[in-house]
Amino acid sequence: MTLALYVLDVAEFEPLVRTAQGAGMQLRRTGDYWELSSPEPQLILRRQGTEIRTALWHAALTGGLDGRIVSFTSETIHLEEDPS
């Protein structure tokens, strides 16, 4: 199984996309979204350094994901593969 995060392709989310790439995720365009995928079983993204406002950070998961949320705070998103 692959861990994936779907992020709306708008300028406001570009820093998140760059952060995900820096964390080892691969990009693939699908419709109006970026699919950020990782072969790793878990992933932690940090808001620090992205300059994304907290409200926008909290909207980052509105595109959906393949996996499960372990922790989602104003500073980190921790995702892992869904064991089911």
Q: What is the pLDDT of residue 1?
A: 62
Q: What is the pLDDT of residue 19?
A: 87
Query: In the chain, where are the structural domains located?
Result: 3-80
- Which residues share a beta bridge with 71? 78
- For the CA atoms of 51, 54, 56, 61, the dihedral, rounded to the nearest 10 degrees, stands at 110
Instruction: State pLDDT tens for residues 65-82.
Output: 999 999 999 999 999 998
Tell which CATH classification among 3.90.56.10, 3.40.50.720, 3.40.190.10, 2.30.180.10 matches the domain 3-80.
3.90.56.10
Q: What is the pLDDT of residue 73?
A: 96
Instruction: State pLDDT tens for residues 4-38.
Output: 999 999 999 999 999 888 888 899 999 999 999 98
Q: What's the pTM?
A: 0.85
